[in-house]
Amino acid sequence: MNRAFSPLLKSLFIAMLAVSSAAFAAEEKKPEPVAKVDPAKGEALYTNGDAARNITACVSCHGAAGNSTITANPRLAGQHTAYIVKQLTDFRAAGRSNPIMSPLAKALSDEDVKNIAAYLNAQAPKPGAAKSKDTLELGKQIWRGGIASKNVPACAGCHSPNGAGIPAQYPRLAGQHQDYTVTELTAFRGGTRSNSPQMSTIADRLSDKEIKAVADYIAGLK
């Protein structure tokens, strides 16, 4: 009798062992839980930095709640989360280089980047203002209709008529400092900023006057 059931018991034992091993392997491969995005942590890091990790407070350059008062530094309040994440990620890699931002971004963890982005996205942007009446019409024309003779598309097509942008695709530009926008468009044109092939192509077709005009118009968008 024992002999008759021995092969069956052996088979059952092997099957149970296989199931147990598979379950153990599945448990071993179980992914780590993804940390929930925490805007409060993002605010703390943005406002105070982290001396232990040599991370300078973002507020020192980008202003309270992302509303920079330094025209060379971008306003970040209300900027789309995905765009901020992409830019900080690019600063950490080879996609974008800046002597200040690159080392700071490299000191941030992925969680830090997402938390800061979520915090800034939730902040209310303060309006800016156009400064040059002489180029206002040219800037408006480029923003709304592009420059057909140069094959420059309307900026509003991607960044929306009021400059609010499209979340996860194109950044918010409304109210951005003219000086900062001029610097970035010039960098795209000259190849010193290369993390958007589309913008590099467009900026390459713009003259200095056209760049300044559209940048000034952007500053006045609300």
User: What is the pLDDT at residue 9?
Assistant: 47
| Structural domains of the chain in order of their starting residue, each with its CATH number | 39-121 (1.10.760.10), 136-219 (1.10.760.10)
Q: What is the pTM of this model?
A: 0.84
Contact criterion met (CB below 8 Å) for 96 and 193: yes
Contact criterion met (CB below 8 Å) for 116 and 45: yes
pLDDT confidence bin for 95, thresholds 50/70/90 = confident
Q: How many CB atoms lie within 10 A of CB 133?
A: 8
pLDDT in tens, 125-170: 999 999 999 999 999 999 999 999 999 999 999 999 999 999 999 9
User: What is the pLDDT at residue 22?
Assistant: 47
User: What is the pLDDT at residue 33?
Assistant: 60
pLDDT confidence bin for 208, thresholds 50/70/90 = very high
Alpha-carbon gap, residue 80 to 120, rounded angstroms:
8
Tell me which of 51 and 7 has the higher pLDDT. Answer: 51
